[in-house]
Structure formats: C-alpha cells, structure tokens
Amino acid sequence: MSDISIRIEGRAGRITLTRPKALNALSYDMCMAVEQALDAWRDDPAVSLIVIDAEGDKAFCAGGDIAEMYRTGTTGDYGYGRKFWRDEYRMNAKLAEYPKPIVSLMQGFTMGGGVGLGGHVRHRVVCDSSQISMPECGIGFVPDVGGSFLLARAPGRLGEYLGLTAARMGPGDAIHAGFADYYIPQDQWPALISALSDTGDIAALDQAAQTPPDSPMAAQQAGIDALFGGNGLTDLFVALQQADSDFAAKTLKTISRNAPLSMAVTLDMLPRLRAPGTTIRTALELEYRVSHRIMEHGDFLEGIRAAIIDKDRNPHWKHAPDTVPDDAVAQMLAPLGADTLGFEED
C-alpha cells in the first residue's frame, strides 16, 4: 500500500505513514493495516518493539480521512462511518494495551486520528515542530479515538480547555498535559530509530531524551482551571464573558465558532472519564455512543461541509450555546444496547 510502509528492520517492527501531501491523514485501509501489523508482531520473537513514524516535516498525522464519511452520510448511509469508527477504535485500544513497547515519533501536526495513533502508546516522542490538538468540536464532533481519555487525565481542567478550543500543544505543553513523554530534537530521530532497531532495547529513548521546553499552558493552568471550573456550557460562557482578560476574550472568540452540542457533550464526557477504574476502553465505548449517532442527530455533516467540502467556514449549528437541550446531550451519550462498541473483530 502506497500510503503506509510496514516492515521489520532489525529488532523493530516499523510502521511509517507515507502520505505527506495529505498530511498523513488516516484512511480506513491504513487503520486496518496498522492493526494487522500489531496482530502479526504480537507474538513474533523477531520483533522486540515497534516504531511508528511518518514521512514529511509538516505532520505526523493530521487526522482521519473524513470526506468519504460525508459522501456516504449525506445519502443517509451511516453504516460506513460507524464501521470506520468501530474498527479504528479497536485499533486504538490495541495500541494502548499492546504487550511490547511501541514508540511514536510525532512531528508537526498531530490531530484527532493522529492522537489516536501516536498518543496512547507507551513511549511518545515530540520535537520542536510538534503541534498536538483535538479539533473535533470545530467540525461538529467530539474528541474521540481515545482522546477523551487523555483529556480527562490532563491536569486540572486543561482537558476541557484543550477539547473545546482545539488549542495546539507544543512539545512542552504536550508533555505537561500527558499527551507525550519525551522531547528529542527531530534531527536526532534517525539515530534513535537506528539504535532502537539495532538493539531492540527501549533504553535508547532515555539516553536521547532532553529537557523539554517550558509549557505555556502550565503557566496558564490556574487561570484555565478557574474559567473551566463550572458545570456545563452555559457556566463556561458566563465565566468567559465576565472575565476581564485577553486570554478569556480569545478563548470566548475561539469556542463561539464551535458546535454547541459537541461542546456540551464533551463537557459531560470528561467528568465521567475521571471516575476511578476508567480505562481506554471505557472512553472509546463512550465516544462510540456519540460516533454512532453524530451524523444522524448531531452537527457532524454540517461541520464537515463548512470546513472541508464547501470551505465557507460558516456552519449552521443546530443549537446556540445557551439553548443546548439537556436531553440532546443525554441522547448522544445514552447506552447503545445491541450496538454497543465491542472490541472483537467482525
């Protein structure tokens, strides 16, 4: 497959995204190729660890390839999108639970589906160009691919801020927020990959790691916690409107462009995922409740139209920020019964 390169080099299983002109966006076939490689290498004694990287300097992976979801969804066919998400989420869970070390090298844009690919493995590397974000509320969706799990575990209310604003995390921010583990300048990555492949020993990461840059978000943590400390979307808008700061004004402007239903659902999801005993599977199952319904009952198709298809940047959302019905949020997050996400293969 020309969009992805899967091979064994030395002691390492290598997965490289090779769609740099498309910012390495994940197609369904790419997701399934990753899963097949994980299955093949799980019990292969020749593979000691796995390295996931991507070609090009602009992006590790800028998200999922959603144009086909729009094409099928606008005809009333929701099955394609549901299958894509169901199978992608299964792959995300395998990455998080994999018994062998996996290293992800996340340069440039790492957004949405890219976080699902690189953000759950045990050893996550960022560099100076890294820009990690969860931008789903801007297209009428919610943070998914297990991203809600990472957001819920971020310090304080940083998860709410990141999930609603799609703020981009540089290397220091990503490590502070729990989306990455190591800062290693990108020009050192070829030598790092070579050492990992030659030795099969993850210790090469600790030897290469450097002190990360400062995190601007860590410096803003107290202010973020205060603004996002309410109990829902209305509280948040009131807090931002009443706050007298440039940061609050910028944040208000940013979230005012997003789908109110998506933001309200996100604010309901994250506290649930902070409960004791929550796992990546808990988060993925909750996300899939939304995925299963979002094209039919949410703003997802309109969000894609405005951002990707017509590119008019003028979405017509179903609700205003102060009129999102509680029952609309509850409906999105209600259990799916027979359609509940399982993690078995069809």
Q: Which residues are catalytic?
A: 64, 113, 136, 144
Separation CA 184–CA 127 (nearest Å): 6
Contacts of 316 (CB under 8 A, 6+ apart): 302
Separation CA 126–CA 108 (nearest Å): 9
Separation CA 56–CA 114 (nearest Å): 14
Sign of the alpha-carbon torsion through 292, 296, 302, 308:
positive
| Terminal CA-CA length for the chain | 22
Q: Give the position of tokens 């899963």.
A: 35
Inter-residue contact 78 to 300 (CB < 8 Å) = no
Q: Which long-range contacts (CB under 8 A, 24 or more apart) does 82-88 make?
A: 82/291, 82/292, 83/28, 84/28, 84/31, 85/144, 85/288, 85/291, 85/292, 86/288, 86/291, 86/341, 87/28, 87/31, 87/32, 87/35, 88/26, 88/28, 88/31, 88/64, 88/113, 88/116, 88/145
Neighbours of 86 (CB within 10 A): 18
Contacts of 47 (CB under 8 A, 6+ apart): 8, 11, 12, 13, 41, 100
DSSP string, 309-345: IS-------SS-TT---HHHHHHHHS--GGG----S-
Separation CA 297–CA 86 (nearest Å): 18
The amino acid at residue 240 is L
